[in-house]
Amino acid sequence: MKPITVEVTNSVIGPPSSITLTPDGRYAIVIETQGPRPSKLPDAKLSDLPLGRIITVVDLSDPDHPKVVQKIEGFDSPLSVSVNADGTLVAIVFKKTPQRKQPLLAMYRLQQGKLSEPFLPSIPGPEAGDALVSAEFHPKKNVLGLVYSEHPRLSLVQVDATSKTVVLSSWGDPVNLDIAPFLVRFTPDGRFAIVNAMLLGTDIRGTVSSIRLEQSTAADGTPHHLLVSRADTGVMPEGLAISPNQHWIATTNLERSAQPLDDPKQGFFSSVSLLRLDPQTGSIDRVGEFPFDGMLPESAVFDNTSRFLAVVCFAHFDRSKPNGSVDFWRLTGDFADPKRTELVKTDFSITVARGPQSMVIAR
């Protein structure tokens, strides 16, 4: 299988949430978290890279010939992008820094592959100026999940859009999260929000939390959301995926693979965590970690059967493999032991450019 490519400015820096697809799979929206290396600095370091600002829309109606249909400048250092259930609104989170004042969240209308001028709605709730790291639209409601990092919590906001305005209002109280939350994803039926956290600085495993939306409703109609389950993952779980059948959660764990090769902390492996999800109660049980010989696996996605998992690998410890890859894993079991589940890395792999980060699937 040969990948089809189109030139888009983006970066591996930031959460693996720099691309989203419209629900019909027609358009991809890509954010540039960090700008390209200056041509005058061939040996540029990370600190030499310009801030990202570009937002690109790609038309995928002909998968063999994708084409860029729009490039616009947003604000500095976008972190995540998401599109709503009917494909008309795009939410982009921008990095908070003390050096410059800019919006943490911008909303864009999307019509026929073109983004509008940004709407900059006020964000409701306590400590609304806290740093955002992720925003994700609910799969059925015009509700946005917002993950805050300084005071870790998930906030749900209702999005009311007209032709001239976008207004956000609180949809229930925030739910506290573990240290260093990274991504929020909703189960396909919209009943649960799933959030991973890396617990940075604690030097231990990360976690995944399950939050039941509208667990109860107050007399005035205000929903109450409840954290119902939490489970450990491997170290530094950056990527987060939920299977279409809602029975499985996977995280891609950097482990110690981000360390320099001569650092004693370097473990020379990464891993994928597999967790079992009860689609009725939201309970999470950790199946286990499955290590492999690769560096910085940023993102993962289940196929439509929920039996296969694609994982992007930034690079390989094996120097005969200088590029990145999309590797495919298979969920399997033991006929004689119905309770046993294993995640097996297959030999099927697609070579891509070094440093793949975000990945989505058109269903």
- Name the residue type at position 345: K
Per-residue pLDDT of the chain (363 residues; tens, 9 = 90+): 778 999 998 888 889 999 999 999 999 999 999 988 888 888 888 888 888 999 999 999 999 999 999 999 999 999 999 999 999 999 999 998 777 788 999 999 999 999 999 999 999 976 666 899 999 999 999 999 999 998 999 999 999 998 789 999 999 999 999 999 999 999 999 999 999 999 877 668 999 999 999 999 988 889 999 999 999 999 999 999 999 999 999 999 999 998 989 999 899 999 999 999 999 999 999 999 999 999 999 999 999 999 999 999 999 998 888 899 999 999 999 999 988 999 999 999 999 988 899 999 998
C-alpha–C-alpha distance, residues 235 and 221, integer Å: 40
C-alpha–C-alpha distance, residues 212 and 209, integer Å: 10
| Total-model pTM | 0.95
C-alpha–C-alpha distance, residues 91 and 105, integer Å: 7
Identify the structural domains of the chain with CATH numbers, from first to last: 1-40+48-176 (2.130.10.10)
* Distant-in-sequence, close-in-space partners of 359: CB < 8 Å, separation ≥ 6: 16, 19, 299, 300, 301, 310, 312, 326
* Distant-in-sequence, close-in-space partners of 39: CB < 8 Å, separation ≥ 6: none
* Distant-in-sequence, close-in-space partners of 26: CB < 8 Å, separation ≥ 6: 59, 60, 61, 87, 113
